[in-house]
Chains A and B, each alone.
Chain A
Amino acid sequence: MTAPLVRRLSSGVAALAAVAGLLGTAPHPAVASSTGVPDSPATLSGTGPFSSLKVTVSQTQNLINQDVSVSWTGGVPTVPSSGVFYTDYLQIMECWGDDPATGPDPSQCEFGPVRTTAQLGGTWANTRQLTYPGLVDPAETDVPAGYAGANLFMPFSAAPDTVPTAPYTRPPLAPDVSGSANYFDQSDTNEVDYARTDADGTGHEFFQIDTDREAPGLGCGKAVTAPSGGSVVEPCWLVVVPRGHVEVDGSVRIGTTVATADDSSPLSATNWANRIAFPLSFQPVTSLCTIGALEVQVVGDEQAAEAMSRWQPGLCQQNAASPYSYSQIGDDESRSQLTSGSPGLALLSDPPPAQPGALYAPVAVNALTISFYIQSQGGAGDAANQNGVQITRLNLNARLVAKLLTQSYKAGVGTVGPTDVPPLNPLDLTADPEFLALNPQFTGLDYAAHAIPDVIVPFGNADAYAELWTWIDNDPAARAFLDGDPDNDPRDPGGNPAYKGMTVNPNYLKTQLPIEDFPTTDPYCQEPTAVPAGEGTQTPLCGIALHPYSTSLHQAALAATQGSQLLHVTWGQSGQVWGWVSTPAESDGDIGILALADAATAAKYDLPTARLCNDKAGQPGPDGNLDQDCMGVATDSMDAALTDAVPSAAAPSVLIPNPNTIDPRAYPLTTVTYAATVPTELTPVQADQYANLLDYVAGPGQVSGLAPGDLALGYAPLVPGLVAQTRAAATILHEVAVGTYTGTPSSTGPGGILPPLGGINPLTDLTGGLSPATAPGLTTAVIPLPPANPGKVLYAKLSSSTQSTAVTAPAPLGAVRYVLFGCLIAAAVCLCAGRGLLIYARRLARKTGH
């Protein structure tokens, strides 16, 4: 199995925590499967030398293609404690096999394909090989005693299409792994070759359960014909093989070097005897759609991409004749398509300035997140036990994000030679006192060798990126930092005199915000070094060569799970020509990566996401409570953010989130994506296709889950008001399709159509995910206005309870406040200026002699 996959599977607060967080439920939620089947965790103990080992699998029934959590206690700590795996670790694999008594045979397991990448343990530990030079497993009866021929391998048998009537017998040992290569290889096997037991005897991994679709050799969840007729759903097994420090021949391995590592395969009989096998049951693998029908073209932003990809199979099940295609394009291009006269259907968040007759339907509530894959590093004393363990909690505030995005940490530019970064600035995030105040769990850790100075961000423009910058721009501390104030400036509302006084990288000084991309403007170049003759000539590495962009949020998150910074700063051969080639990923135990990702993409890759803190967090005294002042992304916090969104000036039926909400329950970087079209410019066929899409989005597409057709995890299901708007838009499109639509003047304006919603107002009825019971202490009608802050967004909000009782007329109440406020100011000005001017006017009159 490949190293990246190990990392991917070991990543994350992952499924359990992500699901818990995103659904906003208790720590042990019902699993987010649309079947509503609860968790079916199972715990089994080891045997023999591993009898103190207790392994728990988070879900064992009604499985689909998903991650499950595998955790254990009572293990012997892995040697060595980071990087590689020489003794005392776990190996995890998925197997087929129908015999409930014996469990699977090793020849029924997906493990040990052709190995082409570097291994992290002993010589044959991640292979199917059963004969080892200088090492014999006496229990391996298939290998003749004294065998000295060519190496022999555990064969692989694929699961049959009918329920077998005779007991399974293992085929003869194979001369190579070509048999298994027809079913899996290192690029797609789900095995976990090495799972680390930490110093306290516990460990944790995420294991990707494959169904028949991902692993046809195992056939898990496949409907197989039963001898009595009918069919049964193929069950499978999750097998854990614990490895100790005694080899198959009884020799002790101390694990200090690779020469003293466990060498044998887990499929060797002696090792296999220690296996812990969990029976798994599956939901029937549903057949997806048949390829070949003409697809309906839909374009739009990345915030909706994950949702669309999960809806596609559900949509085509409903109407196989018209599957949908989704092209991820820039927001500007979406807007120009919408106004081009051939609007098609574009998914976007900011409407074009004015498009009469445009129709907007909310489809997805998502958020931008700083996702991260960080392993505990450099800890001494007690913290040494945690080295290599993934950290799943991270707090950031707007100023810290501003520092990360402006190359203001030393390692964010370059560490060789002088740079523009002020010398007092910390090396990276983890060395910043402001960060440590928000993240005490990093105290005593040392990331000097693997610094975390920046965030992997995508290139190109997006409205969502502008929202992130607006959040930074409107945060007083972050804005002051960008304007050159050191972060301990006493005038700075977020300042703390204890900080060292870090200042922005001068190349970003006074950056005009908001912008809609991520500049990397420091001109630093790493000069080439001399290379041996025949190895070409190095070119300097400048700017983004040292801090590369990803092509998308999706690629950024994926790279993080693989421990990759996407760097090409290794001098090597591409083919036979020398050049800068892809830099290997960080080693297990050394990983520390931040990546910008939308909530759905982070959830897809089991990446934990940073909580975003307000400026009170981390302050000394009772005000700075990290739990109260830092908000993670979850359905509730996204819904709370919606209550602060404002109608777009260009299209009143579109909500524009306010990233600088003062609601402490709101996640600031929440995004709303709308499907936009112009009904009068559509053909009936198009209108019908788009209406069907919106019908699905407003219905089955709002159920969070893992099954094809569900709403991908990470999205907040649309609140009732937004669902009503989408349904109303679908109704209009159905009318266009059958020719009964008459866009009445009252329903259209320069900003588009406001569909009739039967008394429900999408701009106010946003309370679906909130109830007073879940938000105690927030029943006051109005949160006071913040101190006047010239040039910033003025915000005031109503609590959910007030809004829900005032659905019919919330706007006047809001307006009255503004009017009163405006009148007060105006009156004050009049009193002063008007009076003064009158005096002046009289003087003027006097002077001119009248």
Chain B
Amino acid sequence: MNRMKVLIIATATALTAVLASPGPAAAASYVPVNGAGSTWAENAINQWTGDVSQYGMEVNYAGTGSSDGRNQFKAGTVDFAASDIPYGESDDGIVDPPPSRGFAYMPVVAGGTAFMYHLDIGGRRVTNLRLSGDLITKIFTGNITQWDDPAIKAENPGLTMPSRQIIPVVRTDGSGSTAQLTMWMAQLYSNIWNPYCAKAGRVSNPCGSTSIFPVIPGSDFIGQSLDSGVTGYVAQSTSEGSITYTEYSYARQSGFPVVRLLNAAGYYNLPTAQNVAVALVQAKINQDSSNPAVYLTQDLSSVYTDPDPRTYPLSSYSYMVIPTSTASPFNTSKGNTLGAFAYYLLCQGQYPMDGLGYSPLPINLVKAGFQQILRIPGAQAQNINVAGCKNPTFSQNGTNTLVATAPYPHACDKAGPTQCAADGVTALPAGGPGGAGGSGGSGAGGAGVGASGSASAGASGPASANASQGTGAVNPDTGQGAGGGGANSSYNPNVVAGQVIVGATPTSPVGLILTVAAVLFLLGAVFGPVALARLNKRRAR
């Protein structure tokens, strides 16, 4: 160790001595708490557990799947669980009974269940695929097996769909994502879903939602565990033609595109934070606080059919299952910590959610969550209030800022003869490669910029970086959040999908200049004589 380092350490010793003296803000004493469950919400929960450690709070979380989380909470091996679906759901006729210890549901984060796909046309990654729920259901029930199926071509007039097999990739472990998807299919497309489910060997009829995706033995469906498994599979270079369902966060982590899903208004939308927030305005939250088994559980049927053109229909939120008794292993010390953690995640903790691929919870759910926190034994009631809650969707006038500023979709995103190109704004076909089924010429003539959005009162004005608040300002042209505050660079499918060339080899500018110089020198040396000869020739004439 050289002298410099000794010096640094000596300096640091002095600094630490200063740090160690009691600070002006003595933090409350927290005890460790442990949880397990949803992988859908795992990226969000990891964000919170990481950030609260600076407050002396040790919260451990294992993303083992919603079913496992509910089981562990029931068995008393964790203090809290995270689950995308509540207890009491019937799965293939088997009811998942609630735990005997007291519990309550608290919403923690919203998001869209996205369909991540891997499809190339002519060696280029497709990023603007659009599908209706009907087609999604047919794909995940084996009724549509080819990417150039006429029905898919009809919904994608700007794409020349390749003759390639569709490989649906599903979760093999007990998963809330599977439950969300199958609930949606069971409610809207029961005529497709129920026969498939029966064929896959499920006893219950109608099949309803299920946590473990039913697969017909011998089919070409691929099964993988956890979100990292299904998205990891789709991202393989050998997995072209595959499609899976996952929380949007994982698709962004993979750098792969997700399907623009058709909503009830006839627009194909991405699961952006804004589109999810708009959709969840229609979520019916069970307000029967006298019945803890259902209080605050979500009824999403109106979300699925929300007529707002900005809606992403497969939107939902994930719960934390919190204890309301001190049955082992819980106690009031843990309750104090869990209460503070829960308040943090509903308020400040919602800021980074957009950047991670989730949607921040709106005020109605936050307020309802507060009521649940108060039921945690040991939670400090005086600290749970809206006034101190720094949630990014709150505004002065009580509206959800995310909904108020959500952009309207572009005209090319409307179901019909045109389709937005990879840039998200240019309408296809526009004399382009001529998609099958496209009625050439009737398109929006290439530009399409600003062809929509006029209906939106909120989505006006240029993106203005709102410094410290980060209240997702929105660029009305692209529909992408301009995100102040640093965290909200909303997903731009073009940017991500455009990253075909990867891992550029580092080159120094000196090297570059020298290379250019050398090439010029060589070219001059090689072709110079010829040129000179020509010149001489001409002169000779």
Q: Smallest Cβ distance from A836 to chain B, in angstroms?
A: 9
Q: How far apart sit A178 and B235, CA to CA, in the bound complex (Å)?
A: 48
Against A, the Cβ 8 Å flags (1 = close, 0 = not) of B61-75 are 001110110110001
- Cβ of B517 within 8 Å of any chain A Cβ, yes or no, is yes
Q: How many residues of B contact A (CB 8 A)?
A: 141
- Stretch among A148-156, A295-303, A498-506 lining the B interface: A295-303
With contacts A313-B53, A550-B228 taken as known, whether A834 is within 8 angstroms of B529 at the C-beta atoms is: yes
Q: A657-B506, A830-B526, A833-B525 are in contact. List 13 more A-B contacts (CB 8 A).
A: A34-B16, A187-B60, A216-B333, A287-B27, A291-B344, A297-B470, A328-B47, A336-B495, A344-B489, A519-B236, A537-B201, A544-B224, A581-B68
Q: How does the 8 Å CB contact mask read for A556-600 relative to B, with 1 for contact and 0 for none?
A: 000000000000100000111111111000000000000000000
- Within 8 Å of chain A (Cβ to Cβ): is B488? yes
Beta-carbon contacts under 8 Å, A736-778 to B: 768-769, 771
In the bound complex, what is the Cα–Cα distance between A817 and B120 (angstroms)? Answer: 45
Contact A834 B12 (CB under 8 A): no
Q: Tell me which residues across on chain B come within 8 A of A342, comparing CB atoms.
A: 463, 465, 473, 482-486, 488-489
B233 touching A681, Cβ below 8 Å: no
With an 8 A cutoff between CB atoms, is A700 at the interface?
A: yes
Chain A residue nearest in CB terms to B21: A286
What residues on B are CB-neighbors of A188 within 8 Å? 32, 34, 60
Q: Which residues of B contact A582 (CB under 8 A)?
A: 64, 68, 173
What separation, in Å, do the CA atoms of A218 and B172 have in the docked complex? 43
Contact status B57-A291, CB under 8 Å:
yes
Asked if A494 is at the interface of the complex by the 8 Å CB criterion, the answer is: no
**Other-chain residue from A291, A297, A312, A686 in contact with B355 (beta carbon distance below 8 A):** A297
Q: Is A818 an interface residue (CB 8 A)?
A: yes
Cα A826 to Cα B24 with chains together (Å)? 69
**Interface residue count on the A side (C-beta < 8 Å):** 153
**Stretch of A247-255, A358-366, A388-396, A459-467 that contacts chain B:** A459-467
Contact of A830 among B223, B255, B509, B525 (CB under 8 A): B525
Cα A312 to Cα B521 with chains together (Å): 54
B17 vs chain A, min Cβ distance (A): 8
With A295-B51, A320-B25, A574-B67 in contact, do A286 and B225 touch (Cβ < 8 Å)? no
A833 to B529, CA, bound (A): 10
Please tell me if the beta carbons of B352 and A297 are within 8 angstroms of each other in the complex: yes
Q: Does A96 contact B (CB under 8 A)?
A: no
Structural contact, B390 and A822, CB atoms closer than 8 A: no
Residue A71 is within 8 A (CB to CB) of chain B in the complex = no
Asked whether, in the complex, the Cβ of B238 is within 8 Å of the Cβ of A523, the reply is yes
Bound together, the chains give a CA A551 to CA B232 distance in angstroms of 10
B4 close to A (CB within 8 Å): yes
Per-position 1/0 for A519-562, Cβ under 8 A of B: 11101000010000000010111111100111100000000000
A834 close to B525 (CB less than 8 A): yes
Binding site for A on B (CB under 8 A): 1-2, 4-5, 8-13, 15-16, 19-20, 22-32, 34, 42-43, 47, 50-58, 60, 63-65, 67-68, 70-71, 75-78, 91-92, 94, 96, 172-174, 201, 210-212, 215, 217, 221-226, 228-229, 231-233, 235-238, 252-255, 328-329, 331, 333, 340, 344, 348, 351-352, 355-356, 388, 390, 463, 465, 467-468, 470, 473, 482-489, 492, 495-496, 499, 502-512, 514, 517-518, 521-522, 525-530, 532-533, 536-537, 540-541
Chain B residues whose C-beta falls within 8 Å of the C-beta of A607 in the assembled complex: none
Which 4 A-B pairs have CB atoms at the shortest separation, nearest pair first? Answer: A344-B486, A466-B503, A841-B533, A683-B467
Say yes or no: B514 contacts A850, CB within 8 Å.
Answer: no
From B15, B356, B504, give the contact of A329 (CB < 8 A): B356
With the chains together, A289 CA to B22 CA distance in Å? 11
Task: Give A702-752 interface residues, CB cut-off 8 Å to B.
Answer: 702-703, 705, 707-710, 717, 720
- Whether B255 contacts A332 by the Cβ 8 Å rule is yes
Check B32 against A312 for contact (C-beta < 8 Å).
no
Question: Given A35-B16, A826-B522, are A539 and B172 neighbors across the interface (CB < 8 Å)?
Answer: yes
Residues of A within 8 Å of B356, CB to CB, are 327, 329
Contact of A837 among B12, B463, B526 (CB under 8 A): B526
Known contacts A290-B25, A844-B533; decide if A181 and B331 are in contact (CB<8 Å).
yes
Q: Which residue in chain B gives the minimum CB-CB distance to A699? A: B15
**Chain A residues closer than 8 Å to B63, beta-carbon distance:** 551
With a cutoff of 8 Å between Cβ atoms, the chain A residues found around residue B47 in the complex are 325, 327-328
Contacts of A652 in B (CB 8 A): 509
Report the separation of the CA atoms of residues A707 and B60 in the bound assembly, to the nearest whole angstrom.
Answer: 20
A762 → chain B, closest Cβ, in Å?
Answer: 14
The answer to whether A646 has its CB under 8 Å from any CB of chain B is: yes
Q: A312-B53, A822-B514 are in contact. Are A576 and B96 (CB under 8 A)?
A: yes
A492 at the interface (CB under 8 A from B): no
- Given A299-B486, A345-B486, A575-B211, check contact A332 B509 (CB 8 Å): no
A-B contact pairs, 20 of them (CB 8 A): A36-B13, A187-B78, A290-B27, A291-B55, A295-B348, A299-B352, A309-B53, A313-B54, A336-B489, A463-B503, A507-B238, A520-B232, A521-B238, A544-B236, A575-B96, A577-B212, A578-B212, A580-B223, A683-B465, A708-B54
Q: Are B486 and A297 in contact (CB under 8 A)?
A: yes
B502, A515: Cβ atoms closer than 8 Å? yes
Decide if A433 is an interface residue (CB 8 Å cutoff).
no
- Complex Cα gap A289–B19 (Å): 12
Docked-complex contact B223 and A544, CB < 8 angstroms: no
| Chain A positions 21-41 with a Cβ under 8 Å from a chain B Cβ | 23-25, 34-36
In the complex, the answer to whether A340 meets B468 with C-beta atoms within 8 Å is no
Contact: A700 with B487, CB < 8 Å? Answer: no
Given the known inter-chain contacts A507-B238, A850-B540, please indicate yes or no for A649 contacting B508, CB distance below 8 A: yes
**Which residue on chain A has the smallest CB distance to residue B19?**
A317
Cross-chain contact B25 with A289 (CB below 8 angstroms)? yes
Chain B residues near A545 (CB, 8 Å)? 172, 223-225, 229
Indicate if the CB atoms of A574 and B223 lie closer than 8 Å.
Answer: no
Does any Cβ of B come within 8 Å of A514's Cβ? Answer: yes
Taking a contact as CB atoms under 8 Å apart, the answer to whether B484 and A649 are in contact is: no
**B487 & A299 in contact (Cβ 8 Å cutoff):** yes
Contact assessment for A568 and B225 in the assembled complex, using a CB-CB cutoff below 8 Å: yes
Q: How far is the CB of B119 from chain A (nearest CB, A)?
A: 17
> Once the chains are docked, how many angstroms separate the CA of A463 from the CA of B34?
33
Q: Known contacts A520-B232, A545-B223: does B71 contact A702 (CB below 8 Å)? A: no
Query: Of the candidates A25, A214, A287, A332, which one forms a contact with B499 in the assembled complex, judged by CB atoms under 8 Å apart?
Result: A332
A513 to B505 CA separation, bound complex (whole angstroms): 10
Contact A549 B351 (CB under 8 A): no
Query: Contact at A297–B485, with CB atoms within 8 Å?
Result: yes
A461 to B237, CA, bound (A): 13
Question: A368 at the A/B interface (Cβ < 8 Å)?
Answer: no
Q: In the complex, what's the smallest C-beta–C-beta distance from A677 to chain B, in angstroms?
A: 9
A509 proximal to B (CB < 8 A): no
Smallest CB gap from B2: residue in A: A771
Cα of A214 to Cα of B53 in the assembled complex, Å:
11
Tell me if A354 is interfacial: C-beta within 8 Å of chain B: no
How many whole Å from B157's CB to the nearest CB in chain A?
A: 28
Say whether A341 faces chain B, with CB atoms less than 8 Å apart: yes
B521 with A822: CB separation less than 8 A: yes
Per the 8 Å Cβ criterion, residues 200-242 of A in contact with B are: 212-214, 216
A543–B233 touching, CB < 8 Å:
yes
A101 interfacial by beta-carbon distance below 8 Å = no
Residues from chain A with a CB closer than 8 A to the CB of B506 are 646, 648-649, 656-658
In the complex, the chain A residue whose C-beta lies closest to that of B233 is A544
Q: A36-B9, A681-B465 are in contact. Are A551 and B537 (CB under 8 A)?
A: no
If A287-B23, A507-B238, A521-B238 touch, whether A23 touches B529 (CB-CB below 8 Å) is no
Q: How far is the CB of B404 from chain A (nearest CB, A)?
A: 19
A191 vs B348: C-alpha distance in the bound complex, in angstroms?
Answer: 35
With a CB–CB cut-off of 8 A, which chain A residues contact B536? Answer: 845
> Could you say which of B1, B26, B355, B486 has the most chain A C-beta atoms within 10 Å of its C-beta?
B486
B144 nearest CB across to chain A (Å)? 21
Distance to closest chain B CB from A62 (angstroms): 11
Decide if B486 touches A686 in the complex (CB within 8 Å): yes
Kindly identify which residue among A646, A647, A656, A834 contacts B526, using a CB–CB cutoff of 8 Å. A834
Tell me the smallest distance from the CB of B536 to a CB of chain A, in Å.
8
